[in-house]
Amino acid sequence: MSGKLVIGNWKMNTRADSAQALVSALLDHAATNREGVGIAAPAVYLAALAESLKGSRLALSAQDVSRFAADGAYTGETSAAMLADIGCRYVLVGHSERRQYFGEDNAALLQKMRNAIAAGVTPVLCVGETLEQREAGQHLEVIAAQLAILPELTDGDYVIAYEPVWAIGTGKVATLEQIAEIHAFIKNWCLQNIGSSDKIRVLYGGSVKAENAEAILATENVDGALVGGASLDADSFRVVCQAAGKLI
Ligand code: 13P
């Protein structure tokens, strides 16, 4: 495993013009136009952005994928094969917003992981506890339950992102101790339940921005960052990517 991975999750933001402008700004800089940096753009813009990214090293990512693998009567869905077809290298799976607003459960998420891996798109499984769960002392148990689908995957690479729900879009960042504790827990869980943790990258997400990126990315067992709000501003995202680039 070499270098840190930073993915900007644009969520349901941008328009065709602003998405292209953001990508142009990222392509203009060596800190963002490189291996180990990606953007997760809205599905409707992926194909156009894939054209703009041709020949660059910036990785295109989707924010979600269908749990159905084969073509067919699944109105509104985007399959893993379609994402692969236009050159997506990553796809977010089970982001807390999808779990919360779209009721995604482990059974659906396992299918999504399988489909992405089979299509050659690396899934990024997002896990994390709510504030209530943390206050009730259930955070480790909740995360273990979300990781429980991983032993079902017999082959293929994936990435895990720890995103405490209470730190997403709130400006509240988990402390470095909390981040270190959960990342060590996830790596250890993988070692115990999958037999290896060496090749599994664990990203942190939740109010990562220019000001805190270096400290978070330098924390033990943090292999990169999933960046929401700050990824919509090219300058802020560049600073996060620069911090990641310094820490190999
Ligand atoms: P923010 O960086 O806006 O807190 O969002 C984090 C996130 O959900 C990334 O997937």
pLDDT tens-digit series, residues 128-172: 999 999 999 999 999 999 999 999 998 889 999 999 999 998 888
Q: So what CATH class is 5-246? A: alpha beta
Tell me the catalytic residues.
95, 163
| Per-domain boundaries in the chain | 5-246
CB 226 within 8 A of CB 205: yes
What is the value of pTM for the model shown? 0.97
Binding residues for substrate: 9-11, 169, 207, 228-229
Atom of ligand 1 nearest to the CA of 208: 2
Beta pairing, strands 5-9 & 224-227: parallel
CB 37 within 8 A of CB 90: no
**Tokens linked to 50:** 């894939």
- Give the count of beta carbons closer than 10 Å to the beta carbon of residue 188: 12
Atom of ligand 1 nearest to the CA of 209: 2
The answer to whether the Cα torsion of 82, 86, 89, 90 is positive or negative is negative
CB 84 within 8 A of CB 48: no
User: Using CA positions, which residue lies closest to atom 5 of ligand 1?
Assistant: 228
Spatial separation of the C-alpha atoms in residues 105 and 172, rounded to whole Å = 26
- Ligand 1 centroid – CA 8 distance (Å): 8
**Tokens linked to 166:** 């209470």
User: Which pLDDT tens digit goes with each residue over 87-141?
Assistant: 999 999 999 999 999 999 999 999 999 999 999 999 999 999 999 999 999 999 9
